[in-house]
Structure 1
């Protein structure tokens, strides 16, 4: 008894101290306690929004800037990544994965980097039959429930001993004695120019497509539930890491230099003409005659030369223009070769080249065009995080919010959208210990999938088939199965599938004429800054416009200048507020920032909402919390909030591990804390224009009815999350 009293006193003391310290949790936060049984009935089970079985309308294909099935029915994918060995779980675990995905209304899975240890012990191009049999079952169950899947299977193809006779320098790639083990047995980077390595990537992919799934009886090349095939993850010929790979693989460096020298010989003919064109930029010991001119495949150098050329008195040096053009043509040959091999299997679905960056300006656009030439545009971005991107560590926190700056953070990936191609965002996450991660999935769903018309989203990553006990997953800060992420999907999935957010018109175009890039002519300024996985865009067409309308890149038939768009025209004086061109969304960044959503099927707020009153059509909303994400979602597939019978209210703020501690201004993580997760309760008032009889009931953390009921008087709903200790409420008429 004494020990219990001491423990209680300790808890109260810690709570008091926390409540008196800025940025720390107070006693009224509640424990997140789902039972993780996604097979039981629930009011927030979104499986009815999935159109099963996957593939019933034929293959997913590109239809201009959209994705559509063969019969013309359009489709958007709201999905997740499942990585590494997770695709090869036992059947019972696969069933649980599928239960959770269907429950959340997820209709797409990106299986990622799963071939590292899933091929024959000797041959890297032959799938391991026992492992792939488990994946066959997983994909069969996804298909049956209406969930499409795609393959991002190669993240650096790992060579095996019996590949050695096929490769020019197997020992260099497989060498683990090299400092830092940079290649680690992988064809990464080198594959973009070396045809012997390309053969391995292509052969593995073709073998997978020709595999028959015993559960469906179909070759994967014939199964329309396979929504896309990706050539390679996060790799391109411009990426600076290739130079470290070439240090380890001198034979391949010699190969690349010979390829470039032959290219220069075709263009210039002789060393004398080359010297006239390049001047002092040609190293003394390099020449066409020696076949040893190195193309310096480093996006950092190309970006630096591009930034210098922005000054009117400077041009991009000719050597850089030649190098970039050669690298572009070389990568394009690889991609077209890969595309042909996949199409020869009979596969009719979508193809993705890759999804990585290539610096700023010309090199960036060359790389983007190689992806454009073979299929859908796909990109990655991350936001926030603390000290170390891959491990939750104590240290300084990037405790910022995307809502504070329109078009920033994750949403800025849309700067790479191309006018006549679908756009996918296949890896993204707002990283803890940033405290505002709950904003991420609503912003991507609302502005990305909605206003910008993106076609696919796959958040990163789903580590298991239940909510994680802490806000981080086993692999660190990348965590979809958090209440701040997947806990919001029951509100977001219907909004996306019903098409609540209207797609914006194109308000500005960034014109790119590929032949003019050989002369260094772009017609607008665009720069990309990158810190590890985080990317930041600045352009003549500012990213803030993503809050207003669409601003795609257009690959043109002739050179066209890009006219700058004066962002100030969209702001309301000094209020700094951008209303979307569709008038359904408002992004106010006059202070810390918030977003309001007002459509027929969904109404809501995202961001710093303290004591503000939001007018959302016939509804008014006011919250006491500083930061909140609140969504009102019609649960009817054909009726809006003003006429439907049931409305799901989702209310999420911040969440932390038990004992997680920040300093006073929230910029330093002092303690990680442990399980369970504790959630900040939201207190808010909702005023409805619907005065007919209604009941308001709190739901438990799995969306099931509780015995409680909240009084509704004259359309006024007062919700106290501290008392009800939940994020979900059902308003029923």
Structure 2
């Protein structure tokens, strides 16, 4: 069997040489029984009980997290749905996660009654609250904190909204939380019913439980996204009346607003609205007119006011919920207002994040995807699907951490995953840990798991013959957690000072001026179809002044409401070589060669290589040398005692590569964007992991013994090691994820 990987880079089709598929090994781990004799168990990194020193707070500068006693804390996190399986499963799950370095989980839940029958607007889903209660109780005992997302408007059926006596003319409730007073009052009631009653599993109300660290207002909703265009009828009139009120307050009178606009009409109004100046209901333009593809023409002033209005109506609601949680509920948890993207992330992203600054924490959801098309593309892989095995290493600007960070706020990525059938996934946790550490991104939550322990390849829903997509408990991704968690939580890669600080007065936001440096827009197959399918940000906006590869050199920050001059680090240009296709971090500890498809980590306490090892075959770093001809692998060396590799008493060597279901096969296929692949068989359990042939030499005079481990950290045989010229050299086992050296 042969494999061909194809990637689209900067608009140019890249087709590497066809190569023989490596030999594989079965990944069939035993149930982890949490033996005290395990050689790899990271639960010692966690507090004995989550919140034992008090509530998680922001640091003095506002930009990071600290424990209740003021000690800094970093979180390695994922999304979990195991609460559906009851308390016993949760307790086992919590131990499993803590052992692999996890100290934060997120429940993306739905507190309102969202189904098609039963319930009123005011009632909550008490079963969902019980799952949250159990989750907090189980996780806190393993030192794992909880983030809760209580509301997802896309899951509320319009029939339920009608039954709630919320007359909805729009296509669902999207955006309504920001301007519908009936829904807003109900939302506050949902929070009361969730946070005030005593949790029977802990004896504490959630508002009083420091194990609940972060409360998100909602998931994936915004007035700056394409769903804005679906607002119709009653909701459009309600929002138009709010717009009229805003204009009256800004200009003194609506007549003054008309004069300021030069009587310009709304281009492309939603729901065919027309201005009704007498009643104060003012039309709002289709969101496309705020993007870089549109020419504002003589409506520029009007569109700037609409931009300000939409941003501030969101920000004001976020501020109200932050106040409500503190003053009415008495909940000291940190508050994250949102996590979504916009219709044009070049021109509108700063507006979205600015609206979140009324809370404590900035957020976004960002995935790594490649081409995948098929009937069930949003959630399953089936035979006949078209895909491209286009890994991230040759398109680094799609790394989820390439984000503009508002000064003085923690930043979380509340959902992320390297999404199959892009099988080059095991790079993900290492790259996220390293570049989060470098840039100061505070949490990334992997999405997701509904298994207590490991997940084998299986149906996406239990019925459809298929392979599920949105799963992290696999050898490719969760199998890479231990080294990644150590890198991030212990700060084995240094955080760099900012490479860019852009200062943005608010009038530049309303005018949608192009930023100095812009992040790539992520792709979501559940959103970017139909109405959302066009590529964005390609029109009138000027090109950013600074290379987007700056995000891989260090933190890129934005300071809102600031008139100060912009800052660009004097060394930044020297770190980016677009001709050689290499970017080096300001700390010089990370190097990304996107031409070769290789990232190297070379810090005193974290060293290794990720990607196409065959591109060089030998990688010589500060204290280690790696030799391998693997087409794709990740080999990372980190200390278990936090000391430099040259002095550590115990090292972890982590080996990850590609894993596919047993029997997976694909054939060449045509696609409008270029050569692709078609799934001919989606396979079955167990995972088949590519064997990696590699030799590692380590400069450390105190180490002499190497032991291979199984997937649960148990000893699984000695690895032959020899010493020569001050280096300990070992041939890594080709059928293990981990080796301990002591």
TM-score range, shorter chain: 0.7 to 0.9
Task: Name 2:385's counterpart in structure 1.
Answer: 395
* CA pair 657-727 structure 1, distance change in 2 beyond 3 A: same
How many angstroms apart in 1 are the aligned matches of 2:645 and 2:522? 42
Q: Does 1:608 align with 2:612?
A: yes
Kindly indicate whether residue 644 of structure 2 is the aligned counterpart of residue 640 of structure 1: yes
In the alignment, structure 1 residue 540 sits paired with structure 2 residue 548: no
Please identify which structure carries the higher helix content: 1
Q: Distance in 1 between matches of 2:571 and 2:738?
A: 41
Task: Give 1:524 deviation, angstroms.
Answer: 3.8
User: Residue in 2 aligned with 1:291?
Assistant: 280
Quote the Cα distance in structure 2 between the aligned partners of 1:635 and 1:643: 11
Q: Indicate how the Cα distance of structure 1 residues 692 and 151 shifts in structure 2: closer, same or farther if over 3 A, else same.
A: closer
Aligned to 1:422: 410
CA distance in structure 2 between the aligned counterparts of 1:162 and 1:94, rounded to whole angstroms: 31
CA distance in 1, matches of 2:212, 2:307: 34
Structure 2 partner of 1:364: 349
2:64 and 2:685 map into 1 onto residues whose CA distance is 42
Aligned to 2:147: 150
Contact preservation (8 Å) 1:22, 1:666 = no
Separation of aligned partners in 2, 1:520 and 1:680: 48
Deviations 1:423-443 (A, max 9, x none): 111101111111211111111
How far residue 280 of structure 1 moved from its aligned partner, in angstroms, is: 4.1
1: distance between equivalents of 2:681 and 2:473? 22
CA shift, 1:699, in A, is 1.7
Partner of 2:450: 463
Distance 2:17 2:665 in 1: 10
Cα distance change of structure 1 residues 275 and 597 upon mapping to structure 2, 3 Å threshold: same
Kindly state the Cα deviation for residue 700 of structure 1 after the two structures are TM-superposed: 2.0
Match of 1:108 among 96, 104, 114: 104
Deviations 1:54-97 (A, max 9, x none): 101211112221111232111111100024xx434322111222
Written as runs of structure 1 = structure 2, the 5 A alignment for 1:560-575 is 560=565, 568-571=573-576, 574-575=579-580
**Distance between the aligned counterparts of 1:395 and 1:23, measured in 2?**
21
Residues 404 and 593 of structure 1 are in contact (CA less than 8 Å); yes or no, is this contact kept in structure 2? yes
Is the Cα–Cα contact under 8 Å of residues 137 and 215 in structure 1 kept in the other structure? yes
- Structure 2: runs of 5+ lacking an equivalent: 6-15, 268-272, 462-466, 529-534, 538-542, 669-674
Q: Does 1:342 align with 2:330?
A: no
Structure 2 CA distance, aligned partners of 1:562 and 1:691? 44
**What per-residue deviation string (whole Å, max 9, x for no partner) do you get for residues 333-356 of structure 1?**
211211111112221121000111
Structure 1's 253 and 574: CA in aligned 2 closer, same or farther, altered over 3 A? closer
Partner Cα distance (2:579, 2:131) in 1? 59
SS of the residue aligned with 2:315? helix
- In structure 2, C-alpha distance between the alignment counterparts of 1:552 and 1:515, rounded to whole Å: 18
- Whether 1:257 and 2:257 are equivalent positions in the alignment is no
Q: In the superposition, relative to structure 1, how do residues 627 and 560 fare at CA in structure 2: closer, same or farther (>3 Å)? A: same
Maintained 8 Å contact 2:22/2:690: no
C-alpha distance in 1, partners of 2:501/2:389?
Answer: 33
What's 1:76 paired with? Answer: 74
1:677 Cα deviation (Å)? 0.6
Residues 24-71 of structure 1: CA distance to partner in whole angstroms, max 9, x if unpaired? 874721111111325334222211111121101211112221111232
Distance 1:644 1:276, change over 3 A: closer
Runs of 5+ unmatched residues, structure 1: 1-14
CA distance in 1, matches of 2:626, 2:459: 31
1:583 aligns with 2:583: no
Aligned residue pair count: 687
Query: Aligned-pair distance for 1:486?
Result: 0.6
Cα distance 1:461–1:424, how it changes in 2: closer, same or farther (>3 A)?
A: same
Q: Aligned match of 2:473 in 452, 456, 481?
A: 481
Superposed displacement of residue 277, structure 1: 1.6
1:658 CA displacement:
0.9
Structure 1 residue 215 and structure 2 residue 225: aligned?
A: no
Contact 1:94 1:138 in 2 (8 A): yes
- C-alpha RMSD of the superposition: 3.2
2:661 corresponds to: 657
- Name the residue aligned to 1:4: none
**TM superposition score normalised by structure 1:** 0.86
Residue in 1 that maps onto 2:289:
301
| Distance (Å, rounded) in 1 between the aligned partners of 2:501 and 2:693 | 43
1:504 CA displacement: 0.4
Shift in Å at residue 239 of structure 1?
A: 1.9
Note closer, same or farther for the CA distance 1:708–1:366 as it changes in structure 2 (3 Å cut).
closer
Q: 1:691/1:234 Cα in 2 relative to 1: closer, same or farther (>3 Å)? A: same
Secondary structure, aligned partner of 2:587: coil
User: Distance between the aligned counterparts of 2:407 and 2:128, measured in 1?
Assistant: 40
Query: Do 1:426 and 1:457's aligned partners in 2 also have CA atoms closer than 8 Å?
Result: yes
Tell me: CA distance 1:193–1:273, structure 2 relative to 1, closer, same or farther (3 Å): closer
Q: Secondary structure at the match of 1:620?
A: strand
Against the structure 1 CA distance between its residues 79 and 279, is the aligned structure 2 distance closer, same or farther, given a 3 Å change threshold?
Answer: same
Describe the shift of the 1:522–1:492 C-alpha distance in structure 2 as closer, same or farther (beyond 3 A). closer
The 3 A distance-change label for structure 1 pair 301 and 671 is farther
Confirm or deny that 1:596 pairs with 2:600. yes
Partner Cα distance (1:699, 1:511) in 2: 50
Query: Once the two structures are superposed, what CA deviation does each residue of 1:139-177 show, in whole Å capped at 9, x if it has no partner?
Result: 112111100001112111748999979x7x52437xxxx
Q: Is the Cα–Cα contact under 8 Å of residues 541 and 564 in structure 1 kept in the other structure?
A: no
Contact 2:457 2:468 in 1 (8 A): no
Q: 361, 368, 392: which is aligned to 1:383?
A: 368
Q: Give the CA deviation at 1:483.
A: 0.5
- Report the Cα offset of residue 703 of structure 1: 2.1
Q: TM-score, normalised by structure 2?
A: 0.85
Distance in 2 (CA, whole Å) between partners of 1:542 and 1:685 is: 37
Aligned residue in 2 for 1:322: 305
Q: Could you tell me how far 1:197 is from its partner in structure 2?
A: 0.7
